[in-house]
């Protein structure tokens, strides 16, 4: 009880205050259970106060913002975790920290962006030119096995 500083709302200043799980949930717009879940999966970290309650560094909000944004576009948690792992725990990341993380992600993000753009433009393109040769375009995707056959897959290929 003497450790007032560990109680989430006990310091009026707000600048050096830690956050309780409920505060993190409210501010970041996710459920308390999701905060627990992310912590369990190692995406975020907390310390415990004298009464065993979680106390988060403010920077956790930033991490959660990254998590949410990445998830919106389909990046799996494991990958997000990997990227976030290059940031320091429980303190504000430095420029170098962000740089490391950025590097970890850039390739993947670019790949995702390119795939989406290809998907969008192929839809447009095949309509625009009227050839309907989607096959041709999809095949630029390495993961796509369609090309190897080459038999009758394309319909009106020019």
In the list 20, 44, 63, 64, the residue contacting DNA (rule: CB under 7 A) is: 20
Question: Does residue 82 belong to the site contacting DNA (CB under 7 A)?
Answer: no
What is the smallest separation between the CB atom of 143 and a copy of itself, expressed in angstroms? 7
Identity of the residue, 50 or 91, whose beta carbon is nearer to a copy of itself in the bound complex: 91
Q: Between residue 99 and residue 158, which ones bind DNA under the rule CB under 7 A? A: none
CA dihedral 6, 11, 15, 21 (to 10 degrees): 50
What is the smallest separation between the CB atom of 140 and DNA, expressed in angstroms? 21
Question: Does residue 83 belong to the site contacting DNA (CB under 7 A)?
Answer: no
Identity of the residue, 23 or 101, whose beta carbon is nearer to DNA in the bound complex: 23
Binding site for a copy of itself (CB under 8 A): 14-15, 17, 26-29, 58-59, 61-62, 65-66, 68-70, 72-75, 92-93, 95, 98-99, 101-102, 105-106, 109-110, 112-113, 115-120, 123-124, 126-127, 130, 132, 134-135, 138, 141, 143-146, 149, 151-153, 155
Rounded to a whole number of angstroms, the CA Rg of the chain reads: 23
CB atoms within 10 A of CB 55: 20
- Residue numbers of the site for DNA (CB under 7 A)? 1, 7-10, 20-23, 25, 30-34, 36-38, 49-54, 71, 76-78
């Amino acid at each position: 009880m003497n450790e007032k500083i560990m109680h989430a709302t006990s310091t009026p200043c707000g600048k050096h205050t830690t956050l309780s799980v409920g505060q993190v949930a409210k501010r970041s717009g996710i459920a308390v259970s999701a905060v627990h879940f992310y912590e369990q999966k190692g995406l975020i970290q907390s310390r415990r106060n004298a009464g065993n309650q979680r106390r988060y560094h403010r920077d956790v909000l930033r991490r959660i913002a990254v998590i949410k944004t990445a998830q919106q576009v389909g990046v799996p948690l494991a990958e997000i975790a990997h990227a976030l792992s290059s940031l320091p725990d429980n303190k504000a990341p430095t420029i170098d920290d962000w740089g490391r993380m950025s590097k970890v992600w850039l390739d993947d993000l670019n790949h995702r962006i390119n795939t989406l753009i290809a998907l969008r433009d192929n839809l447009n393109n095949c309509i625009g030119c009227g050839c309907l040769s989607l096959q041709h375009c999809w095949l630029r995707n390495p993961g796509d096995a369609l090309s190897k056959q080459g038999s009758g897959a394309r319909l009106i290929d020019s």
